[in-house]
Amino acid sequence: MDGTILLVGTRKGLWIGRSDEERREWELTGPHFDMEEVYSCLVDARGSSPRLLVGSSSSWVGPQVQRSDDLGRTWAKSSDGAIRFPEDTGTSLERVWQLTPGVGDGVVYAGTEPGAVFRSDDGGETFRLERALWDHPHRPEWAAGFGGQAFHTILPHPTDASSVTCALSTGGVYQTVDGGSSWAPRNQGIRAEFLPEGQQYPEFGQCVHKVARHPSVPQRMFLQNHGGVYRSDDEGGSWTSIADGLPADFGFPIVVHPHEPETVFVFPLNGAGGRYPPEGHARVPFLGADVRRDQLAHDRAGERADRREDERAGAGERSGERAQARARRQTGGDTGAVAPAWTIVFVRVHGGLILPET
């Protein structure tokens, strides 16, 4: 497949964007599934030709997974909508929140509301319930966030088909390492700020909003919580806060740069009450490799200023002050402090577009 495909899901259908590798101009088609809510999209490029999968929901026929093998010109769906809960569960599908490819040809995972994970082995045409997760003893205590109780994150290990990490609101992070036969919570260090003091670090029950990782470093994960941003270096075994330096630690998305495993982007909101950017400024902070490049540029600018001061006052007289200035640049202030690692890259919204700060 040449060029770029972009799927945009909305509450009134799906739009498909196509562009070349430069991605400066786009051709859009849509709406596909007119007046249907589209909660999840997937471009599965593993086969000889890409397959598009869409989790749509109609007021008349309900939720279903639809697929296209010709980039959206025609669509097909299974007779039962592809995902259905077994009769003995006593529940029914409300929405498909996540579609993601697994390891192996044809493997696709779906995260749903009510909170469950399904697996397909035929490219999304049929799915089966991950029964051990559904029957987990924690499940009856999982609550529903304002958006519903849903598995919004599914992260299959890029090389180990037996390992899958998933997350839901409100329940937390769970992981299998035996192909779905058993699942364990992975929430150590994640704070549930809405619980009483002394009970804010439970085994499960956190309202996790999204988890992301880069396939080249699968053990490193980043997590946006309902209050808090975290990093794990042991595939979710433990989590450490990385929220210092953000304008707010509440948000929903978290995205790892596709080519830089150390770079992660978030979109801070002011909290669970208002849910808009702090001070009304849309900001996209990032943490990672680009921060180091920015710091290097900052250091070089400071070194040029030092040289100008030396020329004016004499190198001997200024050498001590120059060393102190260099230490302040490297630490963000006092010589013992640590500089905030987050950098704001976008701050203005105009005409529906997020624009760089000028």
Closest CA to 289 of 235, 238, 345, 329: 345
pLDDT over 60 (residue 14): yes
Q: Which helix (DSSP H) or strand (DSSP E) does residue 306 occupy?
A: helix 289-313
Residues 259 and 329: beta-carbon distance below 8 Å: no
Q: How far apart are CA 76 and CA 81, in angstroms?
A: 10
pLDDT over 90 (residue 277): no
Partners of residue 96 on adjacent β-strands: 112
The contacts of residue 207 (CB under 8 Å, 6+ apart) are 145, 169, 170, 192, 194, 225, 226
pLDDT tens digits for range 235-257? 999 999 999 989 899 999 999 99
My answer on whether omega of the bond before 170 falls inside 30° of 0, hence cis, is yes
Partners of residue 44 on adjacent β-strands: 51
Q: How far apart are CA 9 and CA 41, in angstroms?
A: 7
Give me the mean pLDDT over the 122-149 stretch. Answer: 93
Q: How far apart are CA 351 and CA 329, in angstroms?
A: 37
Task: Identify residue 313 by its one-letter amino acid code.
Answer: A
Instruction: Please state which of the ranges 28-42, 115-129, 258-272 shows the lowest mean pLDDT.
Output: 258-272
Residue with the larger pLDDT of the pair 223 and 315? 223
pLDDT tens digits for range 160-190? 999 999 999 889 999 999 999 999 999 999 9
Calculate the average pLDDT of the chain. Answer: 84
CA angle 68, 70, 75 (to 5 degrees): 30
Residues 256 and 278: beta-carbon distance below 8 Å: no
Give me the mean pLDDT over the 292-316 stretch. Answer: 47
pLDDT of residue 283: 80
pLDDT over 60 (residue 94): yes
- Quick one: CA torsion of 213, 219, 222, 225, rounded to 10 degrees? 120
Spatial strand order in the sheet of 13-19: 4-10, 13-19, 27-32
Q: Which pair of tokens denotes residue 202? A: 């439970």
Q: Is the dihedral of CA 299, 305, 308, 310 positive or negative?
A: negative
| DSSP characters over 74-99 | S-EE-TT-S----GGG-----EEEEE
Percent of the chain with pLDDT over 90: 65
Q: How far apart are CA 196 and CA 94, in angstroms?
A: 31
pTM: 0.81
Q: Which pair of tokens denotes residue 216? A: 């080249």
Region at 23 (left for phi over 0; alpha for psi -120 to 50; beta for the rest): left
Q: Which pair of tokens denotes residue 272? A: 């669970």
Partners of residue 255 on adjacent β-strands: 265
Q: Which pair of tokens denotes residue 43? A: 């471009």
Output DSSP code: residue 106: T
Percent of the chain with pLDDT over 70: 81
pLDDT over 70 (residue 151): yes
pLDDT over 60 (residue 28): yes
